[in-house]
Amino acid sequence: MSNSTIMKTNYYCPRCHTTKISEYEDTFECTKCRDSNGFPLEFEKKNIGKIPDDEILALREQGSIIGAFEELKDADKRKKFSDSLLDDDLEA
Ligand SMILES: [Zn+2]
């Protein structure tokens, strides 16, 4: 009796490992985990079993990382802008 013969194809939450999920076409939502805004964590099916569980990001987390990068770019731009002003003052 091998465990591999009863291997499930069910998706599971990479955070709490429950198989109690709401399944959609390409994604599923954990019925237990919530993000900081109280929304269910939604994961892409294609990542399950391909990426280590602790590296799988919920869809909203992917979005927030992109958002953070956008902010960073803007902050960097602002800093360069203020630096250039500062340089002008120093050289004048
Ligand atoms: Zn979960």
pLDDT at residue 66 tops 50: yes
- Residue pair 57/67 in contact by the 8 Å Cβ criterion: no
Distance 13 CA to ligand 1 centre (A): 5
DSSP assignment of 30-88 equals EEEEE-TTSPEEEEEGGGBTTB-GGGPPPHHHHHHHHHHHHHHHHHHHHHHHHHHHHHH
Domain range list for the chain: 8-91
Distance 74 CA to ligand 1 centre (A): 34
Whole-structure pTM over 0.75, yes or no? no
Kindly indicate the confidence band of residue 7, based on its pLDDT and cuts at 50, 70 and 90: very low
Question: Tens of pLDDT along 10-62?
Answer: 799 999 999 999 999 999 999 999 988 898 999 999 999 899 999 999 998 88
Distance 84 CA to ligand 1 centre (A): 48
pLDDT at residue 2 tops 50: no
